[in-house]
Amino acid sequence: MPSDPDHVLDAIDGVVEEWETLSADAMRWSPPESKSPDLMTEVGEIFGPLVNAFSEALRPIGDAFERALRALDEEDDH
């Protein structure tokens, strides 16, 4: 490494020149943008879990109905 300090100044100048080509706002931190939810997103968030819970509550009824239809179908085959 040369003992001449000019190479250090040259390196600093090169970095500063590259940095100055960026806009002033490029180095500024900004919080992430948060979009306000639209109506359909809010409706989905509210009613989605309710519909899921309702379908899970009706599943035993559907299973019983399916078993009854299969039993009737098996009786007709015999």
Looking at residue 47, its pLDDT comes to 94
Spell out the residues 6+ positions from residue 37 whose beta carbon is closer than 8 angstroms to its own: 45
Would residue 18 count as lying in a domain? no
Q: Is the pLDDT of residue 77 over 80?
A: no
Residue 51 lies in a domain: yes
Task: State the chain's maximal CA–CA distance in angstroms.
Answer: 104
Residue 27 lies in a domain: no
Q: Write down the pLDDT at residue 14.
A: 65
Domain that holds residue 61: 38-78
Measuring CA to CA, which residue among 62, 65, 43 is closest to residue 54? 62
**Reported pTM:** 0.40
Q: Answer yes or no: is 7 within a domain.
A: no
Summarize the confidence of residues 32-58 as an average pLDDT.
87
Q: H helices within 4-38, ranges in order? A: 6-20
Domain assignment present for residue 21? The answer is no
Into how many domains does the chain fold? 1
